[in-house]
Chains A and B, each alone.
Chain A
């Protein structure tokens, strides 16, 4: 009982303190105290209490039993402050379940059974055997099973529990026990526990009780292990799950653990990959409170399996790959990179199913099921979602339960709650089929986008940009392996063909084009939003050359012209660069088409659009022919005249364009420092123009340079136009 030294020491201090305090007391009361102490035989009150509970006779009265009260009080204090040692748990559990006193006492003891470290498996086995005796009240039975579920991860080993799987299974027929028994079975089930008669029993129950979520989940797990035995089909998104809310235990456990952990974790951090932070997070977030799994000294000798939490490092993982035992609480895997590596390389369907299930449950419970948005809750939620994001990035794929959650959450989102995390998760989702993308993604996003602030608009465009990037990257990786038939994720065998992917990408790009056009208009062509939009088109223009997706999509006029006529040189420069890359893509596509290496068709319309844009740019910036017929933006002559701007055609050339006029003035001063009067038109003359463009390039306008070098074949010529594919 060395483990118990901690709790007991405190009590001894306590009683000795009493002695010193009582020195001033009258003789009589001293005697009383003496008597009480003699009764204690100078022993630790906690040990005495345990002794009492292990020896108390059946049928001892409990009403007005001060001795019992005293012992319960002692146990309660120790349990709630330090937690109970494994031995104490065994003794108390046995006392409670044997119903030696009233069932009220049993409930009372069960409620304070807060383990400090582990729960011995034998105690649980003993408990189950009391369950089989059938003396317990139904309420107590339920409470016991719920307690087992709560502390499941603290049970030191589960081999014997699995051995009595059949005994536990027999309780599914008890109606009020059934949900909890199903949950317990879910946690214990291995392939070998699945038998045809058990499947039949569950199916019978399902007929009797209806499609209860707990039965469905257990059956779904059975199906994963033995698809040949379970012929049922399950909806891809199952509702609910196992419910085991018990805040009393949860709070007590996490309080005890928080207190005990501080010391334990610092010892263990060195040799275990589990980090402290995810530990505290998952404890709070799972519906079952999980303690630091890593701190449990497990007895592995009896079983061959190696619990995942015992893995030390990557080589250790490789050596033991064949005999890894997954933790019962799948959520704990999120925090452990080693565990994730394991999941990633083993591709264990049941593991993924369980992880997915746990995740969906937690997300739904914590974010959709009435959570007041208090700052503390939000801090936890933020941590949790951040862990989820980093997990998904490590695995390089999203969980389907995250997707289901996101689609639901978007519809009730106010656009600010956990914005960074939600948009982060959103950017990670797998390719959405084009048939669904509008409903699940675009409609809720549009509503948020157009009503929210500029900052939010920028974040959405950024999020969609990184979503597109991931889709493209994913395509370029998988396209190498398999040309056309690519499954999105290994868990959902949802086959997506190349054309399916292309449809989704087209939808996404067009959507961003639409919202960016209107968004820019609503925000007065704000530079920041324009910049995020150009980021997006930097991705789009490289789709073919960089990511090997045979697709070229031009930006809409609502994005192109605001960028061309922007007041800052960066936007115009980036537009030039984007146009240069489009040109490269189109030239290469044309070449390939001509060589018939990879037959694919880029519509005439795309070429036409591109040429139109190039003509507009060149006319505007070089030829001083803005607003003339043939440009994208045409204005009637009389309208231009009414604006009373002289030479309005040249207001957007490289000299007078609001983005470049600063450079022009600068250049003018450098060229003719002695001149008093500013005559910008003199830059147009002869060699000056060449020097001016060189000057612009030297100021860092690389996009402009690239555009000029590729699209303008004769640099000095004043009559140039788009050269390609006319």
Chain B
């Protein structure tokens, strides 16, 4: 085990939370049962790490094994960074029938033809997702295992989820991906977030949706009934309508977890446009305070959070 492998291992161990360490190492399967038992997980991490290193040396493990460990951790905890989504387009016929073996071979060949120093590791996850770990080098330096890129792709779907990709490596990745997956080109779908599964569910529609053709009657059953015959909700019908509309727009099951969304309103004069929207009846009146606060508070940066007042009073001058 060389020094760089040791360093990579130290770094990985440092990033894995103490309470997850034991379970991740067990999945790794690189230690014998006896060796595994000898590790004391109540010790401070650096001490565990030292012990682990000596065990690794005993077993003659290499960098390959170490990156394996990192992949295991990443697959189990895919919320480590921000994931960006791209979509492959212009599918060829073979796209629908491609399998893991072909993809793996083809991707490695394509990538290595583009760049000489690169380390690629591909692993299939239980849910048919292909996980790719790429450590990039360039023509003169060895692959940098400290900043790997992770790519997740589901075969037979056009979506690719990427995290930790530097801009200069993007064309290389794309050029390798497109032919391996049998597509014509790739585009950015403008979707990003920390929660990989949420992004996947959102794009692949893996959440419960309601279709307008279903019986609207069903909704009434769901709308909360007054708990007492003497309590009457004057706006029950409106509430029902709103529930219906909400369900039509967002479905009525659990929704994927997305933390942020960015809307950019760009026009030559935003406030004039907003005013026109309201005065011409394009937007419903009264104007939502989100829009009317721009001139009233004199700011155009707002953060909407779960708790507290709707408009975060941090930046901008108080008027």
Q: List A residues at the B interface (Cβ < 8 Å).
A: 18, 21-22, 24-26, 28-29, 31-33, 36, 66, 69-70, 73
Cα separation A18 to B38 with both chains bound (whole Å): 12
Cα separation A18 to B44 with both chains bound (whole Å): 11
Cα separation A36 to B58 with both chains bound (whole Å): 20
Cα separation A291 to B43 with both chains bound (whole Å): 33
Cα separation A70 to B54 with both chains bound (whole Å): 20
Cα separation A69 to B14 with both chains bound (whole Å): 12
Given contacts A18-B43, A28-B55, A29-B55, 18 further A-B contacts (CB under 8 A): A18-B40, A21-B42, A25-B40, A25-B51, A26-B34, A26-B35, A26-B55, A26-B58, A28-B51, A29-B50, A29-B54, A31-B54, A32-B47, A32-B50, A36-B47, A69-B46, A70-B44, A70-B46
Among B27-76, those with CB < 8 Å from A are 34-35, 37-40, 42-44, 46-47, 50-51, 54-55, 57-58
Nearest chain A residue, comparing its CB with the CB of B40 = A21
CB <8 Å contact, A26 and B43: no
Residues of the B chain whose Cβ atoms lie less than 8 Å from the Cβ of A69: 46
The 3 closest A-B pairs by CB, nearest first: A29-B51, A28-B54, A25-B38
Q: Mark B250-267, 1 if CB is under 8 A from A, else 0.
A: 000000000000000000
A-B contact list, 19 entries, CB within 8 Å: A21-B42, A24-B37, A25-B38, A25-B40, A25-B51, A26-B35, A26-B38, A26-B54, A26-B55, A26-B58, A28-B54, A28-B57, A29-B50, A31-B54, A32-B47, A32-B50, A32-B51, A32-B54, A69-B46
Q: Given A18-B40, A22-B40, answer yes or no on A28-B58 (Cβ-Cβ < 8 Å).
A: yes
Cα separation A22 to B37 with both chains bound (whole Å): 10
Cα separation A18 to B47 with both chains bound (whole Å): 12
Residues of the B chain whose Cβ atoms lie less than 8 Å from the Cβ of A73: 44
Q: List B residues at the A interface (Cβ < 8 Å).
A: 34-35, 37-40, 42-44, 46-47, 50-51, 54-55, 57-58
Residues of the A chain whose Cβ atoms lie less than 8 Å from the Cβ of B37: 24
Cα separation A275 to B44 with both chains bound (whole Å): 42
Within the complex, the shortest CB–CB distance from A64 to chain B, in Å, comes to: 9
Residues of the A chain whose Cβ atoms lie less than 8 Å from the Cβ of B44: 70, 73
Residues of the B chain whose Cβ atoms lie less than 8 Å from the Cβ of A32: 47, 50-51, 54
Cα separation A21 to B46 with both chains bound (whole Å): 17
Nearest chain B residue, comparing its CB with the CB of A69 = B46
Within the complex, the shortest CB–CB distance from B204 to chain A, in Å, comes to: 42
Q: Is the interface of B mostly helix, strand, loop or mixed?
A: helix
Residues of the A chain whose Cβ atoms lie less than 8 Å from the Cβ of B54: 26, 28-29, 31-32
Residues of the A chain whose Cβ atoms lie less than 8 Å from the Cβ of B38: 22, 24-26, 29
Residues of the B chain whose Cβ atoms lie less than 8 Å from the Cβ of A31: 54
Cα separation A21 to B51 with both chains bound (whole Å): 14
Residues of the A chain whose Cβ atoms lie less than 8 Å from the Cβ of B35: 26
Nearest chain B residue, comparing its CB with the CB of A17 = B42
Within the complex, the shortest CB–CB distance from B55 to chain A, in Å, comes to: 7
Within the complex, the shortest CB–CB distance from A84 to chain B, in Å, comes to: 20
Residues of the A chain whose Cβ atoms lie less than 8 Å from the Cβ of B47: 32-33, 36
Within the complex, the shortest CB–CB distance from B193 to chain A, in Å, comes to: 30
Cα separation A31 to B38 with both chains bound (whole Å): 13
Residues of the B chain whose Cβ atoms lie less than 8 Å from the Cβ of A28: 51, 54-55, 57-58
Residues of the B chain whose Cβ atoms lie less than 8 Å from the Cβ of A21: 40, 42
Residues of the A chain whose Cβ atoms lie less than 8 Å from the Cβ of B57: 28
Within the complex, the shortest CB–CB distance from A28 to chain B, in Å, comes to: 4
Residues of the A chain whose Cβ atoms lie less than 8 Å from the Cβ of B50: 29, 32, 36
The winner among A21, A24, A26 for most chain B CB atoms within 10 A is A26
Cα separation A36 to B44 with both chains bound (whole Å): 12
Within the complex, the shortest CB–CB distance from A309 to chain B, in Å, comes to: 41
Nearest chain B residue, comparing its CB with the CB of A35 = B50
Within the complex, the shortest CB–CB distance from B277 to chain A, in Å, comes to: 37
Cα separation A25 to B44 with both chains bound (whole Å): 16
The winner among A26, A29, A69, A70 for most chain B CB atoms within 10 A is A29
Cα separation A69 to B42 with both chains bound (whole Å): 17
Cα separation A29 to B54 with both chains bound (whole Å): 7
Within the complex, the shortest CB–CB distance from A152 to chain B, in Å, comes to: 32
Residues of the A chain whose Cβ atoms lie less than 8 Å from the Cβ of B34: 26
Nearest chain B residue, comparing its CB with the CB of A25 = B38
Residues of the B chain whose Cβ atoms lie less than 8 Å from the Cβ of A24: 37-38
Cα separation A36 to B34 with both chains bound (whole Å): 22
Residues of the A chain whose Cβ atoms lie less than 8 Å from the Cβ of B55: 26, 28-29
Nearest chain A residue, comparing its CB with the CB of B58 = A28
Residues of the A chain whose Cβ atoms lie less than 8 Å from the Cβ of B40: 18, 21-22, 25
The winner among A24, A66, A70 for most chain B CB atoms within 10 A is A66
Cα separation A28 to B53 with both chains bound (whole Å): 10
Nearest chain B residue, comparing its CB with the CB of A36 = B47
Residues of the A chain whose Cβ atoms lie less than 8 Å from the Cβ of B51: 25, 28-29, 32-33
Within the complex, the shortest CB–CB distance from A467 to chain B, in Å, comes to: 40
Within the complex, the shortest CB–CB distance from B88 to chain A, in Å, comes to: 41
Cα separation A33 to B43 with both chains bound (whole Å): 10
Cα separation A28 to B42 with both chains bound (whole Å): 18
Cα separation A69 to B10 with both chains bound (whole Å): 15
Cα separation A21 to B37 with both chains bound (whole Å): 11
Cα separation A73 to B47 with both chains bound (whole Å): 13
Within the complex, the shortest CB–CB distance from B52 to chain A, in Å, comes to: 8
Nearest chain B residue, comparing its CB with the CB of A26 = B38
Residues of the B chain whose Cβ atoms lie less than 8 Å from the Cβ of A22: 38, 40
Cα separation A29 to B58 with both chains bound (whole Å): 11
Nearest chain A residue, comparing its CB with the CB of B37 = A24
Cα separation A21 to B57 with both chains bound (whole Å): 22
Residues of the B chain whose Cβ atoms lie less than 8 Å from the Cβ of A66: 46
Cα separation A620 to B47 with both chains bound (whole Å): 97
Cα separation A73 to B44 with both chains bound (whole Å): 9
Residues of the B chain whose Cβ atoms lie less than 8 Å from the Cβ of A26: 34-35, 38, 54-55, 58
Nearest chain A residue, comparing its CB with the CB of B49 = A66
Cα separation A29 to B59 with both chains bound (whole Å): 13
Cα separation A340 to B243 with both chains bound (whole Å): 63
Cα separation A26 to B54 with both chains bound (whole Å): 10
Cα separation A171 to B314 with both chains bound (whole Å): 29
Cα separation A232 to B123 with both chains bound (whole Å): 78
Within the complex, the shortest CB–CB distance from A40 to chain B, in Å, comes to: 12
Cα separation A33 to B37 with both chains bound (whole Å): 16
Nearest chain A residue, comparing its CB with the CB of B54 = A28
Cα separation A26 to B46 with both chains bound (whole Å): 18
Cα separation A670 to B244 with both chains bound (whole Å): 80
Within the complex, the shortest CB–CB distance from B122 to chain A, in Å, comes to: 32
Nearest chain B residue, comparing its CB with the CB of A24 = B38
Cα separation A70 to B34 with both chains bound (whole Å): 28
Nearest chain B residue, comparing its CB with the CB of A14 = B42
Cα separation A208 to B157 with both chains bound (whole Å): 67
Cα separation A31 to B55 with both chains bound (whole Å): 12
Nearest chain A residue, comparing its CB with the CB of B53 = A32
Within the complex, the shortest CB–CB distance from B191 to chain A, in Å, comes to: 36
Cα separation A21 to B47 with both chains bound (whole Å): 14
Within the complex, the shortest CB–CB distance from A649 to chain B, in Å, comes to: 47
Cα separation A66 to B49 with both chains bound (whole Å): 12
Nearest chain A residue, comparing its CB with the CB of B48 = A29
Residues of the B chain whose Cβ atoms lie less than 8 Å from the Cβ of A33: 47, 51
Within the complex, the shortest CB–CB distance from A78 to chain B, in Å, comes to: 14
Cα separation A719 to B145 with both chains bound (whole Å): 116
